[in-house]
Amino acid sequence: MIKIGLTGGIGSGKTLVANMFKNKNIPVFTADVEAKKILNDPSVVQDVSNTFNISLTGDGLINKSELASIVFNDKAALEKLNSIIHPKVHERFQKWILNIEASYIIYEAAIIFEKGRASYFDFTILITAPKQVRMARVVQRDHSSEEEVKLRMRAQWSEFKKKKLADFIIKNTNIKQTQQQVDKLHVKFLNFSDK
């Protein structure tokens, strides 16, 4: 089974592209969704709360906006959070893939290159879009300020840096063209898996 790492900066359209593959019955593991679930795990809540000295919500969960304001302003803090969450995400992925039968699977995550994970995959796809487009998407989607989005963008590598490492690049500015690029890659991956 071929493993494809799907990545891109915030607002690039990773979820849109992942859904296009899902619509072709390709199994997709979404690391960000799993990370959010893990962040609600009681042992992780305690660990994160103690590490960052964060107050809990009335439901006994991490105050996510408080956590975001800490980690997106401090690279060392973000690294610390990732070191708590990411090994657990990878464990879940390893369990998930055991039950999958498919020609190929997609692993969607924001920081595949940043975490030195590219070599784990047979191929990587980078989703790109102009910075202003990405910013507008995130402001609209998350109701964040431009300043908050800029902070989150600065915590990730630039597209320029990631383009040098990606096996395939999907430009996501026009939904019809994005779909066409996904269609081509789908055929390519099916051909690879048949060999």
For residue range 140-179, what is the model confidence (pLDDT) as tens digits? Answer: 998 888 888 888 888 788 889 999 999 999 999 999 999 9
pLDDT for position 104 = 96
- Check whether residue 195 and residue 120 sit in a common domain: yes
More confident residue, 68 or 168: 168
Q: Give the separation between CA 42 and CA 93, rounded to whole angstroms.
A: 20
- Check whether residue 16 and residue 71 sit in a common domain: no
pLDDT for position 195 = 65
The pLDDT of 73-81, averaged and rounded, is: 89
Query: Do 3 and 124 form a contact (C-beta atoms < 8 A)?
Result: no
- Check whether residue 45 and residue 112 sit in a common domain: no
pLDDT for position 149 = 86
| CA atoms within 13 Å, Cβ hemisphere of 136 | 6
pLDDT for position 2 = 95
Chain centroid to Cα 173, Å, comes to 19
Domain assignment of residue 121, given as a range: 1-27+102-195
Question: Given 99, 132, 153, which residue is the final one in a domain?
Answer: 99
C-beta neighbour count of 166 within 10 angstroms: 21
State what percent of residues in the chain have pLDDT above 90: 70
pLDDT for position 31 = 94
Q: What is the mean pLDDT of the chain?
A: 92
- Check whether residue 106 and residue 195 sit in a common domain: yes
The pLDDT of 111-127, averaged and rounded, is: 93
The tokens of 91 are what? 């464990």
- Check whether residue 140 and residue 195 sit in a common domain: yes
- Check whether residue 109 and residue 171 sit in a common domain: yes
- Check whether residue 178 and residue 154 sit in a common domain: yes
- Check whether residue 65 and residue 156 sit in a common domain: no
The pLDDT of 84-100, averaged and rounded, is: 93
- Check whether residue 87 and residue 120 sit in a common domain: no
- Check whether residue 61 and residue 145 sit in a common domain: no
pLDDT for position 172 = 97
- Check whether residue 4 and residue 61 sit in a common domain: no
C-beta neighbour count of 68 within 10 angstroms: 16
Q: Give the separation between CA 102 and CA 132, rounded to whole angstroms.
A: 37
Question: Given 72, 99, 126, which residue is the final one in a domain?
Answer: 99
Pairing relationship of beta strands 104-108 and 28-30 according to DSSP bridges: parallel
Helix (H) or strand (E) holding 126: strand 123-128
Task: Count structural domains, the chain.
Answer: 2
- Check whether residue 65 and residue 142 sit in a common domain: no
pLDDT for position 105 = 97
